[in-house]
Amino acid sequence: MISDAIETTQCQQKDPVDLFHSGHFVKICAPMVRYSKLAFRTLVRKYNCDLCYTPMIIAADFVRSVKARDSEFTTSKGDRPLIVQFAANEAQVLSDAARIVCPFADGIDLNCGCPQRWAMAEGYGACLINKPELVQDMVRHVRNQVENPRFSVSIKIRIHDDLKRTVDLCRKAEATGVSWITVHGRNVEERHQPVHYDAIKIIKQNMSIPIVANGDVKTLKDAENIHRMTGTDGVMVARGLLANPAMFAGYEETPLKCIQDWVDIALEHGTPFTCFHHHLMYMMERITSKQEKRVFNVLSSTSAVLDYLNDHYGV
């Protein structure tokens, strides 16, 4: 579960909230199911990413099962600052999960934004934006039961059609001690519609804690523009980083050096082939022709991928 991290102690922990007072907007790698794992976090940290999230983990499974803990949460000494994102709908379960990861991470995040039907049917994700008292209860429990005062507790939300309800949710969360709030600027029904950056700006204007903007960020320039437009303290990126892990370092498309770094890191971490290959498909999307994609995307072994990269790109 925790590679090379047993020596990590709470006294080494930095307060991730300090990042938001560093004088520049915080560049954040979003929680991404299957993708924001240790190897990928290691890669984006090499290219100016300030803060990384784990994929969403179901807190009840994590607390109940050692097997779930070992497969879902892997970290190392260099993997900081790190936020572990949980899906939860019970205060004590979230608190128990937070206590387990506390020595190995800098904070936890409660997912209040996942719009997938299965998550909402289980009482997880975006349905929580309609249950502000439950969100408060969960935050309060973690705050009261995790002994380290520097351990952050954040939430990631979507917006309501009636923005007053979103502002009310955020104020209630702030009053209970939430460290910061990430706002994905779409409602539960929206997928590829334009992001409501004006809504994120209004939320920011109504809050004292840091607010992070999320949604449709493809380049560093996009991130800078959104930061300026909304006044937010950080910008969180998902698909933009999958397509270009070097995005925060100012690269318009994935440089070959980044592809080489991914190969080295993935092999070192023993990344399963499917994950290794999928990341490369995303990274090379913009730099390969349709014909090249037809060949590359059906390769079925690590050695075939390495041969292809060596033959075509000298990687």
64 is in an annotated binding site: no
Q: Which long-range contacts (CB under 8 A, 24 or more apart) does 159-167 make?
A: 159/129, 159/183, 159/184, 159/185, 159/186, 159/187, 159/196, 159/199, 159/200, 159/203, 160/129, 160/130, 160/187, 161/187, 163/199, 163/202, 163/203, 165/129, 166/129, 166/199, 166/203, 167/202, 167/203, 167/206
238 is in an annotated binding site: yes
Residue 287 half-sphere exposure, CB side, CA atoms within 13 Å?
18
Please say if 102 is a catalytic residue: no
29, 102, 112, 114: which one is catalytic?
A: 114
116 is in an annotated binding site: no
32 is in an annotated binding site: yes
160 is in an annotated binding site: no
31 is in an annotated binding site: yes
The catalytic residues are: 114
Report the binding-site residues for FMN.
31-33, 85, 184, 238-239
Report the binding-site residues.
31-33, 85, 184, 238-239
